[in-house]
Structure 1
Amino acid sequence: MMKTNNWFLYIIECTDGSLYTGITVDVDARYAAHCQGTGARYTRSHPPRRLLGFETHPNRSSASKAEYRIKRLSTAEKWKYAATLQRLS
């Protein structure tokens, strides 16, 4: 993925079926960190299965607000939302 000044919200499906939502400036690098156990405390105990997708935000504030909104959704709502996200090619 190209480096930009944008921030990204992303959702990961973990091996136990749970979902992890985060923000970053580099989705590829951040997902790799989660897979290596150096991403977030949550994904160290809930290893990633796959990256479900991401969406682009113009700045950190916008991405953080979206992350907060998504983290408040139910699991079923998060799955529905994840289906609308962009995929890495």
Structure 2
Amino acid sequence: METKPKHFFYVLECADDSLYAGYTNNLEKRIATHNAGKGAKYTKPRTPVKCVYYETYETKQEAMRAEYAFKQLDRRAKLQYIGGQHEISKK
């Protein structure tokens, strides 16, 4: 049986309490890469980061559409989107 690759839209909380949204097909590896300071220019000076939300999609396009839509929201709407499921500073 062949397993389909998973595609993730994810949200990180950075050390400065900012939020970072991204796409990956390997969530654990991507978070480790961010925390190693090699993930993205934005997160590099804001480590450590922790994953506070993610969604799984069947295609890369769907996951990237979700990421784009999330990035269009203001901070309050982003916090609402992730459902207040996590203790994130509300600066």
Q: TM-score, normalised by structure 2?
A: 0.82
Structure showing the higher helix proportion among its residues: 1
Aligned to 1:26: 26
Aligned letter for 2:36?
Q
- How far apart in 1 are the matches of 2:4 and 2:26? 8
Contact in 1 for aligned 2:8/2:23 (Cα 8 Å): yes
Query: What is the CA deviation profile of residues 34-60 of structure 1, one whole-angstrom value per residue up to 9, with x for unaligned ones?
Result: 000010110002224321021011111
Aligned to 2:61: 61
Aligned letter for 2:82?
A
Contact in 2 for aligned 1:12/1:48 (Cα 8 Å): no
Contact in 2 for aligned 1:4/1:25 (Cα 8 Å): no
Q: Which has the larger radius of gyration?
A: 2
- How far apart in 1 are the matches of 2:37 and 2:14? 12
- Which consecutive residues of structure 1, in runs of 5 or more, have no partner in the other structure? none
Pair 1:5–1:37, CA change in 2 (3 A): same
What is the number of residues matched between the two proteins? Answer: 83
